[in-house]
Amino acid sequence: MAFKYGGKVDFPITVTLGRGLEGAITNESSIGYVDGQEGKLVYRGYDVADLAEHSSFEETAYLLIFGKLPQKDELDEFDRQLKENRDIDPKIIDILKKLPTTAHPMSKLEVAVSSLGCFDPITINNVEIGTQAGIKLISKLASVTAMLARIRKNQDIIAPRKDLRHAENFMYMISGEIPDELTTKVMDMALILHADHGMNASTFTSMVVASTLSDMYSAICAGICSLKGPLHGGANEFSLENLIKLTSETEARKWVQDCIKNKVKIMGFGHRIYKVYDPRARIFKRYAKEICEQAGKSDLYKIAEVVEDEVVKAYGSKGIFPNVDFYSGLIYNSLGIDTSLFTPIFAVSRVAGWVARILEYLPNSRIFRPRAVYTGPTDLKYTPMEER
């Protein structure tokens, strides 16, 4: 929207105001590219579909942070550091256990990351220290999330194992059982697919905090706070909750029609950048079919397809298609993961992108400080209380 500024002229007379910062550019980055017209997502030059098929979360996190695919010894060392940092201080576990059972795991994750920061008081005003903290956080966020899953169910905490891969250990710490190959593969892929996505709300939030030269823990905590919202990462939970309420294809079609009639936004659809099918949703959809079948939840998958069909029929011409949050929930649900854990899992992955982008920005960091267009008066005189 072009906006005529009528107040004090200390910045350009005509400014373009993109609601929700639409069209605004924050910085240059070589970490990842979201091609909203072609429906393509690239990390450091590599198509995410290729990475989802062939890479691992550990390797992808390395790629995002260090800018290249690692040599074997480099990946081994990175992996060693991730494994070494899996333990969580018992004092932090005590803090988490004292929080209300009913609190959302994302709120508890915020507490956990702030607490981790209290026990590791470092700063990120240099790349070396920020990298160390970032690696710790990538490792510990998975442990903490798995612990929160067990605390929520009043189950004993399962200590991390150092011999398992990142996704494998994460699932092991949730269930107490070493996951089968397909489960590990699918969780690994989910972590790869969520790891970075341009200047999304949570990435921007964490970068704004980091740009003040605050510490890595505070920046990542802020990212978690932002990711929690239902318009962002939180959509995966709402989307699945909507789907499991629908018991037949007819009911599913009617539900979508009612949403359209009442102008209710349908969770798991639409995107600021993608005006075509989200490439991540395409990959999730493929696996969702297989995993749902394996879990005896083919009906749930069919309901999801019907919802997609109805939404795309109504809104496809407006560029509204399933986004990353639509089919991911089906997969997690079929793997036996509680809905309240879906958004924390998003954070377990996205922390790699947050860390990478903060570290990339840091050497030339300048505090983010945009302006608002002031539309109020500037010449009012203060009136004492009794004269108002």
Minimum CB separation from ligand SDX for residue 316, in Å?
11
How many C-beta atoms lie closer than 10 Å to residue 116's C-beta?
22
In the range 38-77, which residues lie near ligand SDX by CB under 6 A? Answer: none
C-alpha 352/C-alpha 141 separation (Å) is 10
Give SS3 for 142: helix
Task: Report yes or no: 329 and 242 within 8 Å, Cβ to Cβ.
Answer: no
Q: Is 213 in the site for ligand SDX (CB under 6 A)?
A: no
Report whether 106 contacts 347 (CB < 8 A): yes
Taking CB atoms, the residue at the shortest distance from ligand SDX is 270
Residue type (1 letter), 340: S
Residue 353 CA to residue 356 CA, distance in Å, equals: 5
Written as one string, the DSSP assignment of 308-323 is HHHHHHHHGGGT--B-
Question: Can you say whether residue 152 is alpha, beta or left, with left for phi > 0 and alpha for psi between -120 and 50 degrees?
Answer: alpha
- Find all residues with CB under 8 Å of 278, minimum gap 6, and list them: 39, 271, 321, 322, 323, 324
Known catalytic residue: 232?
Answer: yes
Decide the pairing of beta strands 14-16 and 32-35. Answer: unpaired
Tokens 């341009």 locate to 198
Residues 255, 345: contact at Cβ < 8 Å?
no
Exactly one of 221, 266, 345, 355 binds ligand SDX (CB under 6 A); that residue is 266
* 343 binding ligand SDX? (CB under 6 A): no
Q: Is position 235 an interface residue for ligand SDX (rule: CB under 6 A)?
A: yes
The answer to whether the beta carbons of residues 339 and 241 sit under 8 Å apart is: yes
Based on CB atoms, which residue is closest to ligand SDX, 188 or 308? 308
Q: Which of 50, 271, 278, 338 is catalytic?
A: 271
Q: Which of 166, 197, 232, 278 is catalytic?
A: 232
The only residue of 85, 115, 169, 200 in contact with ligand SDX, by rule CB under 6 A:
200
Give whichever of 160 and 270 is closer to ligand SDX, judged by the CB atom. Answer: 270
d(CA 217, CA 11): 35
Please say whether the beta carbons of 35 and 42 come within 8 A: yes
Residue 325 makes contact with ligand SDX by CB under 6 A? yes
Task: Work out whether 271 is an interface residue with ligand SDX (CB under 6 A).
Answer: yes
CB of 157 to ligand SDX, least distance (A): 30
Give the residue from 106, 60, 48 showing the smallest Cα distance to 281.
Answer: 48
267 part of the interface to ligand SDX, by CB under 6 A: yes
Q: Does the protein bind ligand SDX through residue 357 (CB under 6 A)?
A: no
Site size with ligand SDX, rule: CB under 6 A? 22
Instruction: Return the number of the residue (166 or 194) whose C-beta is nearest ligand SDX.
Output: 194
Residues 3-22 that bind ligand SDX (CB under 6 A): 20
Q: Which of 105, 160, 223, 268 binds ligand SDX (CB under 6 A)?
A: 268
Q: Would you call 194 a catalytic residue per the annotation? A: no
Candidates 59-67, 144-152, 267-275, 298-306: pick the segment binding ligand SDX (CB under 6 A): 267-275
Task: Rule CB under 6 A: say whether 24 interacts with ligand SDX.
Answer: no
Return the number of the residue (136 or 197) whose C-beta is nearest ligand SDX. 197
Stretch that binds ligand SDX, among 65-73, 121-129, 208-216, 313-321 (CB under 6 A): 313-321
Residues of this chain that interact with ligand SDX (CB under 6 A) are 20, 197-198, 200, 231-233, 235, 265-272, 315, 318, 320, 323-325
Residues designated as active site: 232, 271, 325
